[in-house]
Amino acid sequence: MIKVSAYCLISGRAFSPELARQKTGLSFSETHSVGEVGVLGKYKNKPFDFGFARLDDDLSTIDVASFSKRPLVKDLLLHLETLRACGAEQIVLHYDIAYLDQCNIELRSEDLKTLASTGIDVTFTCYPDSSQDSATDTAAQHAERALSP
């Protein structure tokens, strides 16, 4: 049994997440612009030398079985050229696959066709699902909120 969730990381030396938001209407969950000072990690207290936006899957679709029929993928297909016109150089679609007992994944031909048509890299990470532990899950949600901008 697997639970699939997805996000997309969009970046570029001149990428403007604000312009991308205005032109596409997409709601990014995280962004930073060139010159903005980071608060965490490699760029803590340093200006970013690239623009970045993260686009998340709608969590209400987390049980959608198909890899390609998710709203996130539809948004990407619709706005890919606009994102590139806003300076996006690297666009990576990522799937997290949390599994119980076994991790069996199927990419149907329609998934492959759709994903290939985006022309972007697709990555996968598989890990054992620990969300059965409700205490851990609650802590995770708290920490996730704390990390959100």
Partner 1 sequence: MAEKFRFPDAKQLAAILGVSEHVFHRRVKPRIKSDFSRELRTMNTSNPDIGLDDHFCIVLRHPETGAILQTAVPLSAYQPNQPQ
Shortest reach from residue 117's CB to partner 1, in Å = 19
Decide if 47 contacts 37 (C-beta within 8 A).
yes
| CB closer to partner 1, 57 vs 75 | 57
| CB closer to partner 1, 40 vs 104 | 40
| CB closer to partner 1, 101 vs 109 | 101
| CB closer to partner 1, 112 vs 143 | 143
**Residue numbers at the binding site for partner 1 (CB under 8 A):** 5, 7, 9, 11, 39-44, 50, 52, 54, 90, 92, 94, 96, 121, 123-125, 127, 130-131, 136-137, 139-140, 143-144, 146-147
Shortest reach from residue 49's CB to partner 1, in Å = 9
Shortest reach from residue 32's CB to partner 1, in Å = 9
- Sheet containing strand 30-32, edge to edge, reads 30-32, 51-56, 2-12, 90-99, 121-128
Shortest reach from residue 144's CB to partner 1, in Å = 5
